[in-house]
Structure 1
């Protein structure tokens, strides 16, 4: 799983559909951090949810259960959705523009929107409070109308198969043109990255094709992470850095798009 927000979106969707238990969500989130806390992002949200409002507010020992309570209450309306967002600068599709949630989601490069599209709802963003604590900040935010993904599961799966080849080519090119020789075998580094992704489980209710897409996206991400790492890719000039960016950015964009399609397909299958 690529992020705490993706983990929570998939597992909360399975739980809301009656396919998973709260303990399953707890175990899935603990793969990211041993401790989770929850706080409001503003006074209005704090008053609405009875959660503390401060930069470091938390509910010691009850973070996950308080988080599930918010999710249950926010998605109780007919038509409510759980929607993962993975924004990056230059691509903020799916975010409610001009909101605190949008600004913080761009900085975190992840978040979750909960509620009925076109109405006021809730946003969640995980932020590291320390190396052992992941704090989930809750925002009151408009829920944009559902964006059209423009991509089916079949198209996303094909795109990821193509991306594996393209990422391997990019890795080879960057290693060939880099200054000096790498001390480690890229294949071993890729396997180590994949092992880190493999720590995160999926619910049994996730569609098989969606799981294949997420697994392949993790494979591509592992290759790209190794490709960007020193000394395998060590650009020594602005032009070299630009060449690396132009080579890898489209692949990262493809990964993000495929992950969103797969996670949202999983969430829909649970309703």
Structure 2
């Protein structure tokens, strides 16, 4: 799954720390959609942030950045990548948690009490909806980037072995080209100067693994898995999907930490 929230988290955190310009943030987000619009989730959030409420004309990313600057002058954002059964990093129950889980991603600004979720509302249009977050929830678990990278590699190896043994990972003609095409189709990832090299490597690896997961989830032409085999495939892929989320969160958290500590003078 593409992850514009990762780009948003890194760049807005760098900008809030003085390590990037607002135009840099907008340029980095541009590849994710032809158009971006912004809306408050309800009238209360709209009044707090000066962003349009539902039913009003939508706003732009420029106004969202201004709202964040007013709310959290320097505090960085936190990437959340929830999935059913894996809600690590989410705040307490609420609209943001529900919508972020449905979207599979979001950005949490704890100090501002705000959460932001991107959703594609039309072809080429990405909407960033801003929610109130009253309960930040528990402090998220810390996962060292080196540990996350190692676990991702291990899960790739283990899952490949399991899928092969199940007979659902046989060679499919053109599968390498399919994976390469999926990677080329992803929006170009632009990152700030000073982005830590290990974080870049892990984010790139996560993209590659997602493309492999997508290919592994496709049935061979003319073939159909039994219900048992399909269930076994899902079980084999689930740990690696989790490892991708953990690795991406860890990479973004490390990038935010480094960039926030190294503002432009």
User: TM-score, structure 2 length as denominator?
Assistant: 0.88
Aligned pair 1:146/2:139, yes or no?
Answer: yes
Q: Which residue number in structure 2 is paired with residue 212 of structure 1?
A: 201
Uncovered stretches (5+) of structure 1, i.e. residues with no partner: none
Q: Secondary structure at the match of 1:65?
A: helix
1:162 to 129, 151, 154: 154
1:74 to 71, 74, 80: 71
- Measure the CA separation in 2 of the matches of 1:247 and 1:233: 22
Uncovered stretches (5+) of structure 2, i.e. residues with no partner: 261-265
Supply the RMSD in Å over aligned alpha carbons: 2.5
Pairs within 5 Å for 1:255-270: 255-270=244-259
Change (3 A) 1:214 1:82: same
Pairs within 5 Å for 1:1-271: 2-54=2-54, 57-59=57-59, 63-76=60-73, 80-116=75-111, 121-142=113-134, 143-149=136-142, 151-169=143-161, 172=164, 176-177=167-168, 182=172, 184-197=173-186, 199-231=188-220, 235-271=224-260
Q: Secondary structure at the match of 1:72?
A: helix
Q: How many residues align?
A: 259
Change (3 A) 1:122 1:233: farther
Q: Over residues 65-116 of structure 1, what are the superposed CA-to-partner deviations in whole Å (9 max), with x where a residue is unaligned?
A: 0111122222226xx3310100001111222222111111111111111132
Does the 8 Å contact 1:41/1:137 carry over to 2?
A: yes
- Measure the CA separation in 2 of the matches of 1:56 and 1:10: 29
Q: Which residue number in structure 1 is paired with residue 263 of structure 2?
A: none
User: TM-score, structure 1 length as denominator?
Assistant: 0.86
